Amino acid sequence: MPTDPTLPRTPFTILLGIAQDGGVPQAGSFGDPRWDDRAQRKSVVSLGIVDPASGRRWIIDATPDFPRQLLALHRASVQTSLTERPPRPAVDGVFLTHAHIGHYPGLMYLGKESIGASRVPTYAMPRMREFLEKNGPWSQLVALENIALAPLVANEAVEIADGLRVTPILVPHRAEFSETVAFRIATPSRAVLWLPDIDSWRAWDDAGTRLEDVLATVDVAYLDGCFFTDGELPGRDMSKVPHPLMTDTIARLAALPATERAKVRFIHLNHTNPALDATSDAARVIRDAGMHVAEEGEIVPLANA
């Protein structure tokens, strides 16, 4: 059985993408030099979960980059699996945060035109499930049983493996088609927060949840970092694209202990975000604040060594 001794033998997450829904570079940005430099391209935000004991693997959000993200997740699970398995499904389950274009279109690859999957558990909140059931082509995936919709209830954990739980947490975000959730992925000893989209931390405060309180319950927090600061979208009113600015998040958390600030990994970076360049002033500000821009491929163990 192929194994990689450098990878965990207990449950872990693997980061499969850090970009905003349109990816980096973005469609229509014809002059962007990153088209010609594969190392600078970034996939849309997605997180994989692997359980080596059972050989199973799950993915949070089915992005437009689903095929290569599924490959990365597969390779990580094969290299760490502690058990022989018969031919496995493409993925053991999908968790969906919401119905914006970067987070669910990859489900199409589970359909008959591609994988032709059978009843892949697809975890979604009530409005998200209804959206998939009533709108094509997603409704065809349901009708042909390529996916099997599984209910999520806010703040109620789903146990996907022994001691490995995923809990949805409602967050305020544009709700044209569905509600939006973050996910807390946890074992009894470690936890990761996945929060790619939120309108603002103040709106979360108003809804009764404080970022600082949630941060205290996890070891790593992947947070919405769509824009570094105001003015990144020339000619556009950025209040119409609500996301917490990285600079605002840094200011809000500045008084926390260094150990708390070090938990923050920014994801969901827009193609205009200067922090995508590790040598930029923006990236330096983030490092000086004791926080991080997340890196695709990074692994977080979900159990203590």
| 172 located within any domain | yes
Q: How long is the chain?
A: 305
The residue range of the domain holding 22 is 12-301
CA neighbours within 13 Å on the CB side: how many for 257?
Answer: 4
pLDDT tens digit string along 247-264?
999 999 999 999 999 999
| 66 located within any domain | yes
| 169 located within any domain | yes
User: Residue 174: which pLDDT band, with cuts at 50, 70 and 90?
Assistant: confident
Looking at the structure of the chain, the number of domains it has is 1
| 52 located within any domain | yes
Place of tokens 């159990």: 303
Query: Contacts for 72-77 with beta carbons within 8 Å, 24 or more apart?
Result: 72/14, 72/16, 72/48, 72/297, 73/14, 73/16, 73/48, 76/7, 76/14, 76/48, 76/50, 76/299, 77/50, 77/52
Place of tokens 């502690």: 82
pLDDT tens digit string along 256-289?
999 999 999 999 999 999 999 999 999 999 999 9
pLDDT tens digit string along 184-215?
999 999 999 999 999 999 999 999 999 999 99
The burial class, CB within 10 Å (0-12 / 13-18 / 19+), for 172 is: buried
The one-letter code for the residue type at 246 is M
User: Residue 23: which pLDDT band, with cuts at 50, 70 and 90?
Assistant: confident
In this prediction, residue 212 carries a pLDDT of: 97
| 4 located within any domain | no
| 288 located within any domain | yes
| 189 located within any domain | yes
- The count of other CB atoms within 10 Å of the CB of residue 220 is 23
CATH of the domain at 230: 3.60.15.10
| 5 located within any domain | no
The mean predicted confidence, pLDDT, of the chain is 92
In this prediction, residue 1 carries a pLDDT of: 43
CA neighbours within 13 Å on the CB side: how many for 221?
Answer: 22
pLDDT tens digit string along 112-151?
999 999 999 999 999 999 999 999 999 999 999 999 999 9
